[in-house]
Amino acid sequence: MDGQDPDLRKAVAAAGTTRDVVIAAGSLDALPAVLARTAPAEAYAIVADDKTWVAAGGRVAGVLETAGIGQAEPVVLSGHPRVKPTAELSRDLARRLRASKRLPIAVGSGVISDLVKYAAEEAGTPYVCVPTAASMDGYAASGAALREGGFKRTLACAAPVAIVADLDVVAQAPGIMAAWGYGDLAGKLVAGADWIVADALGEEAMNAAPFAMVQDNLTGWLGNPSGIRNGDRAALGGLMQGLVMSGLAMQAHGNSRPASGSDHQFAHLWEMEEITVGGEPVSHGACVGVGCLSMLAAYEWLQRQDVGAIDPAQLAVRTPSALALETGVRASFPLSFMAANASVETAAKAASPAHVEQRLRVLRDNWPDILAYLRGRLPKAAVVQRWLEAVGAPAQAADVGVSREKHARDYRRARLIRRRFTGLDLLHDLGWLDRVVADLFAAGGFWGPARAVA
């Protein structure tokens, strides 16, 4: 990690699995030294797909050959129109890795990364990651998002022991992939606000170091969307560092709280429903970007309300019973597997009227401090919308195949699919969730027809 950013160096030191990260133009040449430091083995197996083999796989093979490093036959996956991220494919890959007794090097973006991550876990071997696009924050994260039996699940597995991101390779990826990564990184703005709220209300304690890993440099990483779109190496380097740092923060904390909040709840909902545009599934980062805007607009609305005047006891009386909660969840999700999942998640964070009352008293009494954080940390939704447009990312629900009517309904539905306490739960406690949606989608509201951005 010689010459690396000191914040990145510190984050690697705090990570549970990843021991080395190199992000620089021309960094593929550093791969042999990284392997020697972090993943020594008799031989390695490059895993790529048809496109990522062309983008970097062949170059990786050449670098290893020049260094006299042993290689098994590369595994180049193919699929139409692209390789599918399934647990079944990953387990088949694990069998091949066990048979060859080679340490895998994942050369690719999200799909290859997750397939190799879980395969390495199943095969009982560490692995190394060579990203080919700045498209998502999962490179350094534990867990792999794969479909199993047709349903998308996050399967437990370790992060890579090392990451080598060559910015010359990353810059050659389709520009929309960096736009997806930008949307994923923008979502961290909301994740930070959600964690501050959860900590202030006693729902999930703040872990200062992982929080700072993501939040302290976030606006800088997001600060040059036009440069990212144009392939500027410094701007892409900032984006890639932010995405990798998010994964390292999740490693340090032990779960995804530092990088995932209510922004991701919208994204997970839409991904489970398999929304498409032009017949193609919408990317995770695109959904997160629109989810981020959805919650930034909601937090702006909240900042304009007189929270100090609430009556916690009166509001807590409205807390639904377990039966009413279950009935509401079932009515919200016509797909049985989603209803079953939402029932479990919602029940896990259900609170008694007494607990809700106490939570709202804490909110009322600490509102000035919470409000100061929100005003100091969160940019306006309209500003972030312009950033997303500048980088070429979706900036409207329609851009990800979601109608205005569905988008409005999904504020309530998104709250139900994860047990994590977020700004959506705060608005629900206050009895204001329907109000904020009505205002945001009314004429002149952020999502209203008079406000819509072309």
Domain of residue 121: give its range.
Answer: 6-173
Give domain status of residue 228, yes or no.
no
Q: Does residue 266 sit in the same domain as residue 399?
A: yes
Q: Does residue 354 sit in the same domain as residue 317?
A: yes
Q: Does residue 138 sit in the same domain as residue 189?
A: no
Give domain status of residue 368, yes or no.
yes
Q: Does residue 370 sit in the same domain as residue 434?
A: yes
φ/ψ of residue 27, rounded to 5: -75, -10
| CATH number, residue 296 | 1.20.1090
| CATH number, residue 133 | 3.40.50.1970
Supply the Cα-derived Rg of the chain in whole angstroms: 22
Question: Which of the 8 DSSP states describes residue 56?
Answer: I
Which pLDDT score is estimated for 5? 85
Q: Does residue 281 sit in the same domain as residue 405?
A: yes
Q: Does residue 189 sit in the same domain as residue 141?
A: no
Give domain status of residue 433, yes or no.
yes
Give strand pairing partners of 23: 165
Which pLDDT score is estimated for 80? 78
Q: Does residue 316 sit in the same domain as residue 392?
A: yes
CB atoms within 10 A of CB 5: 16
Give domain status of residue 1, yes or no.
no
φ/ψ of residue 299, rounded to 5: -65, -35
Q: Does residue 153 sit in the same domain as residue 301?
A: no
Give domain status of residue 45, yes or no.
yes
Length of the chain counted residue by residue: 454
Which pLDDT score is estimated for 229? 97
Which pLDDT score is estimated for 234? 95
Total count of domains within the chain: 2
Which pLDDT score is estimated for 137? 94
Q: Does residue 29 sit in the same domain as residue 146?
A: yes
> Tell me: the pLDDT tens digits for 297-326?
999 999 999 999 999 999 999 999 999 999
Strands 128-131 and 162-166: parallel
Say which residues have a Cβ less than 8 Å from residue 174's Cβ, sequence separation at least 6.
133
Give domain status of residue 223, yes or no.
no
Give domain status of residue 299, yes or no.
yes
Give domain status of residue 230, yes or no.
no
Tens-binned pLDDT, residue by residue, of the chain (454 aa):
445 689 999 999 999 999 999 999 999 999 999 999 999 999 999 999 999 999 999 999 999 999 999 999 999 999 877 898 999 999 999 999 999 889 999 999 999 999 999 999 999 999 999 999 999 999 999 999 888 876 677 899 999 999 999 999 999 999 999 999 999 999 999 999 999 999 999 999 999 999 999 999 999 999 999 999 999 999 999 999 999 999 999 999 999 999 999 999 999 999 989 899 998 889 999 999 999 999 999 999 999 999 999 999 999 999 999 999 999 999 999 888 889 889 999 999 999 999 999 999 999 999 999 999 999 999 999 999 999 999 999 999 999 999 999 999 999 999 999 999 999 999 999 999 999 999 999 999 999 986 654 4
Q: Does residue 123 sit in the same domain as residue 198?
A: no
The C-alpha atoms of residue 404 and residue 396 are separated, in whole angstroms, by 9
* Contact between residue 308 and residue 367 where contact means Cβ atoms under 8 Å apart: yes
Closest CA to 48 of 121, 138, 122, 133: 133
Q: How far is CA 344 from the centre of its chain?
A: 22
The C-alpha atoms of residue 249 and residue 246 are separated, in whole angstroms, by 5
pTM for the whole structure: 0.95
Q: Does residue 302 sit in the same domain as residue 362?
A: yes
CB atoms within 10 A of CB 337: 12
Q: Does residue 78 sit in the same domain as residue 90?
A: yes
> Tell me: the pLDDT tens digits for 91-139?
999 999 999 889 999 999 999 999 999 999 999 999 999 999 999 999 9
